[in-house]
Every structure is written in structure tokens, then in C-alpha cells.
Amino acid sequence: MSHNSHDSEKKSYLSSVINYYFVASPRSVFAILYLLFFGFFLIFFLKNIVLAFRFVFNTLFSPASSLGVDYLIWGSIFIICLVVPFFASIFAIFLPLELKKRSWSKTTRILIILLASFLIINFVLISDFSTGFVEKQTPIKTFLELKGISPRF
């Protein structure tokens, strides 16, 4: 029974997100553009999540003795850089709805969304560029080639 109440809470939250973006008002035009922008980021960086899972899976089934400390450090950074853009995009999509729940003025909420969008875009770009740099490091590059995993670039 608690499982059903959890499902209805989840559905009601998702429906409130949908209702936030798709309402009959002039604001909806900007909201839909915002959703499309970060929705595209979300879809684009989904491949990073797949790559991260493949990387972790292959790491788990590799002999630990063949992986050094440098692999551990670069591998951890690689995983973080892969997943950050995806989850930042999810955060950006849910942010306007969460801010609407606040009792702040409309101007304040709009400014926060604009500032957060700017910061999220920069955060995503830095993380994406960092991923490209990290996957060219010898331990990661060697591991990806050895396991036949195609790097992103």
C-alpha cells in the first residue's frame, strides 16, 4: 500500500512538472523553450551515463592488481565528469517548479533561474571539457582501448 502512495506522489510530482511547463499563458512559451534547451542537454548527455556504466562494469570485472592508484584517481574523476552534465540538466529542469513553490517575488525567481541557468551551462561545459581531458590520460585511455570501449570524442 505504501508503494502505491509512493507511485501516486511520484506521478503527481511529474504531473506538476508537466503542468508547470505546459499551461495556457504567455510564460509557457519561455518555459517550453527552457525545457527544450535543458531537455536537449539531458538527452545529449545520456550517452555519458551509458559510458559511465560500461566503465564501472568493466572496472569491476578487471583484476585489481592490473589497476593502479593513478587509474583509481583518474577513473574517479572520469566518472564524476561523465555524470555531472546529465544530473545538472535534470536539476535545471526541476528548478523553476521548485522556485515557484517559494514565496519569493516573481522577479526574484526569474533572476535566480537566469543566474542558475548561466551557472549550470558553464558547469556542464567545464565538466564536459574536463571529461575530454581526463579520457586522454594514459590510465583511462589504455583501459578504454583494452576493453574496447569507445571514448566520447
Q: Domain segments of the chain: what residues? A: 2-147
Residue 17 confidence (pLDDT): 87
CB atoms within 10 A of CB 12: 11
Residue 126 confidence (pLDDT): 95
For the chain, which residues score pLDDT lower than 50? 1
Q: What is the pLDDT of residues 8-36, one digit of tens each?
A: 555 688 888 888 888 888 888 899 999 99
**CB contact at 8 A, 151 and 137:** no
Task: Give the H or E element holding residue 135.
Answer: none
Residue 151 confidence (pLDDT): 67
The Cα 7–Cα 11 span in angstroms is: 6
Residue 72 confidence (pLDDT): 86
Q: What is the pLDDT of residues 130-143, one digit of tens each?
A: 998 998 888 888 88
**CB contact at 8 A, 60 and 12:** no
